[in-house]
Amino acid sequence: MAMAMGSASAAVPATCVRRAPRAGRRAGASVRASPVRRAGTRVVASAGLPIDLTGKRALIAGVADDQGYGWAIAKYLAAAGAEIIVGTWVPAVSIFETSLRRDKLDTSLPGGGNIDVKKVYALDASFCTPEDVPQDVLDNKRYQGAKNPYTVSEVAEQIKQDFGTIDILVHSLANGPEVKNNLLDTSRNGYLSAVSNSSYSFVSLLRYLGPIMNEGGSCISLTYIASERCIPGYGGGMSSAKAALESDTKVLAYEAGRKWGITVNTISAGPLASRAARSIGFIGDMIDYSEFNAPLPRPLYSENVGSVAAFLCSPLASSVTGTCMYVDNGLHAMGLASDSMSLTMNQDKLKEPKSTE
Ligand code: NAD
């Protein structure tokens, strides 16, 4: 089934992922600009220029439920005709496969039909080879019972044996054990772990999967604006990890472009209440902030990222590489929070009657 881009109607399932609207706003927050809530603005798939990924195979690394960006990307790639295989973090594989089997996930595709995940691999992207796995992980029951050898090199080898090649690699995973800590309170291990799990994991995946990627293939990762602007609360070295991921996108675009003829891009996505984001603790505030202050003051859906990913993986974007594409309703372009309380205060000052003395 090929997906088409253009104008016209929103062919997106009603079960899209977004946080439930809040009952009220924080006390004291000024309301200078209210989000424009337009029904039916999720225009992502319709008749028009086709995105046809028929015959392509995509590995999405970092899917464990239907709430995050990885699943939305998998659905859009599938809607465009790609065959989908998934790499799921070892501790989450069993529950993910059970949810899939029991129809607990939203598998509906834009334009109709359901996603068919060809195979789920257990993966821990923080280890390249079996020699990297530390004793405490080897002793962990969930790792001992893993359905397959789970380091990146081993998963790449299994994919080669099972399918031969892939065309699309999506890195949709991140993990910072001290993400709730200010950078100043982050330990060396916590910082290095954030970078290892969230940035080097992409280098590792490309290093081991590049040799089995077909020429003309595409790689995508997911980044966040905290890489280039300070977002207080996104700590533990996660902002540094995203900065590394974005810088690596350029270097890997060059190296993988020359070596295998593939593209490497990253999508800087706006806030979404995924499982990972909810664990950080302030995702609701980030969503409110975006909806009030972005140039397009409206909700961002995981589908908005899914459709851009499908475009970046398609022949339509075959000359786009080394790029960071913002899919955030434009929030990255703003230098002023239009709902800032200080703006209201200054406005009130202006309204004060002038002294007659
Ligand atoms: P998510 O919970 O759906 O995805 C994160 C995934 O990473 C999970 O499936 C988790 O199991 C997996 N994971 C963690 N450590 C792993 C490891 N060592 N090996 C393999 N898998 C591992 O959450 P999400 O927010 O959709 O995150 C996907 C990507 O999007 C991440 O890179 C995240 O930083 C990025 N992103 C998210 C937001 C947001 O607001 N949610 C915004 C911008 C960018």
Return the closest-CA partner of residue 70 out of 285, 283, 220. 220
Cα(68)–Cα(176) distance, integer angstroms: 17
pLDDT at 237 over 60: yes
Instruction: Identify the domain containing residue 139 by its residue range.
Output: 55-330
Does 262 contact ligand 1 (Cβ within 6 A)?
no
Does 64 contact ligand 1 (Cβ within 6 A)?
yes
The model's pTM is 0.89
| DSSP codes joined into one string, 145-196 | T-SS--SHHHHHHHHHHHHS-EEEEEE-----TTTTS-GGG--HHHHHHHHI
- The alpha carbon torsion through 165, 171, 173, 174 (nearest 10 deg) reads 130
| CA 345 – ligand 1 centroid, Å | 39
| CA 173 – ligand 1 centroid, Å | 4
Q: What is the pLDDT of residue 343?
A: 87
The pLDDT tens digits for 240-295 are 999 999 999 999 999 999 999 999 999 999 999 999 999 998 999 999 999 999 99
Output the domain CATH number for residue 65: 3.40.50.720
Local structure of 126: helix, strand or coil = coil
Residue 3 included in any domain: no
Which residue's CA is the closest to the ligand 1 atom numbered 7? 173
Residue 341 included in any domain: no
Q: What is the pLDDT of residue 2?
A: 60
Give residue 353's pLDDT band: very low, low, confident or very high (50, 70, 90). Answer: low
Residue 37 included in any domain: no
Domains held by the chain: number: 1
Does 30 contact ligand 1 (Cβ within 6 A)?
no
| CA 242 – ligand 1 centroid, Å | 12
- The alpha carbon torsion through 97, 275, 210, 220 (nearest 10 deg) reads 130
Residue 48 included in any domain: no
Q: What is the pLDDT of residue 344?
A: 79
Residue 258 included in any domain: yes
Q: What is the pLDDT of residue 1?
A: 57
